Amino acid sequence: MLSDSELKNSTKPSDPPIGCRTVEILDSNTKEQLCFLDKVDPHSSIGDIKILFHKSYPKWYPARQALRLDPKGKALRDDDVLQNLPVGTSTTMYFRDLGPQLGWTLVFLAECIGPLLIYLLFYGRVPHIYSPNYAFTSSSHSVVSLACACHSFHYIKRLIEIIFVHRFSQGTMPLRAIVRNCAYYWGFAAWLAYYINHPLYTPPSYGETQVNYALILFVLCEAGNFSIHLSLNSLKCEGTKCRRFPHPSKNPFTWLFFFVSCPNYTYEVGVWVGLSIMTQCVPVALFTLVGFIQMTIWAKGKHKIYTQEFKDYPNLRMPILPFIL
């Protein structure tokens, strides 16, 4: 039989580990308490906290969660560690539901398969697109077939890269975003395909010379873009942070790293510039311009991360255009 002191010690709760934290999670809109986590290890990451929160609310899986220290602040990253955040032993976080999520691989596959198939529909001149007299006919201009081959090659290459080359730092994208992205890529593909494959389409002003030079630019930039993607894939990464920034290799296409932080975007723009020159089509040129603006924004963001994370980052590098931008 246990003595009074032994009985008291046997029922006494164990002391929490030294330095444990408490985390209170509130709804970012209503400020209502959703969850209170006690005895959280200070070395826990935000991803770990999301998993704990998911146990209380199964419908909000980690990819749907955005946790912030301020209701209107920036969402914390999954690899952020609790003890490294500017908080005390008691932490209040604000939750926001990001909605249904889709994996990045699926997102990019949808973005690329759509333009590929849509363009081929216009190239084949299926009924109800143009006049019935032109149904299932082919253009008399060789540049139309060449443009179709280049456009198809570009998106087939992207599909191969998505499956075998790319590694995505973020796991998912909101469902609403894929609708917006697909509308952008599919819509532009239909617009430019309509004009390039139109029965009244006229070839470039300078004929084969213009087409041939544009084709050379297209091929070189496709090779450069693929080379950069392979180079980025070879980087050793941990979570969303790379331990080192990309450098030029023996591959001449990677030498653009001497001058820009995101040569994959530089080459991507070059691909569409080549296709614009080849087809001499305004919708292609507008798609190239819009894409350049968006890729410049992405490149500037990546360049800023590199310069902040690496003190020895080359000063000569620009975000996307050598010596200019």
Question: Which tokens sit at 325?
Answer: 């931008």
The residues of the chain that CATH labels 3.10.20.90 are 34-99
- Residues 180-215 pLDDT 10s: 889 999 999 999 999 999 999 999 999 999 999 999
> Hey, is 92 helix, strand or coil?
strand
Strand ranges for the chain from DSSP E: 21-27, 33-40, 65-68, 90-97, 101-103, 172-174, 237-238, 241-242
- Residues 118-157 pLDDT 10s: 999 999 999 989 988 898 898 889 999 999 999 999 999 9
Q: Could you please report the per-residue DSSP string of 249-309?
A: -SSGGGGGGGTBS-HHHHHHHHHHHHHHHHHT-HHHHHHHHHHHHHHHHHHHHHHHHHHHH
Q: What percent of the chain has pLDDT over 70?
A: 90
Residue 82 burial (C-beta neighbours within 10 Å; 0-12, 13-18, 19+): buried
Residue 105 pLDDT exceeds 80 = no
pLDDT of residue 101: 80
Residue 114 pLDDT exceeds 60 = yes
Q: Is 53 within 8 Å of 95 (Cβ atoms)?
A: yes
Higher pLDDT, 80 or 292: 292
Q: Is 299 within 8 Å of 265 (Cβ atoms)?
A: yes
Residue range 34-99 in CATH 3.10.20.90: yes
Higher pLDDT, 261 or 14: 261
pLDDT mean over 307-311: 89
> Hey, is 183 helix, strand or coil?
helix
Residues paired with residue 26 on neighbouring β-strands, in sequence order: 33, 94
Instruction: Enumerate residues 6+ apart whose C-beta is below 8 A from 102.
Output: 172, 173, 174, 175, 178
pLDDT of residue 236: 54
Residues paired with residue 260 on neighbouring β-strands, in sequence order: 318
C-alpha span between 285 and 263 (Å, rounded): 20
10 pLDDT band, cuts 50/70/90, is very low
pLDDT mean over 15-34: 80
pLDDT of residue 147: 97
Mean pLDDT of the chain: 87
Q: Which residue has the tokens 């070395």?
A: 43
2 pLDDT band, cuts 50/70/90, is very low
Question: Which tokens sit at 110?
Answer: 């949808």
C-alpha span between 68 and 8 (Å, rounded): 42
Higher pLDDT, 217 or 100: 217
pLDDT of residue 18: 53
Residue 302 pLDDT exceeds 90 = yes
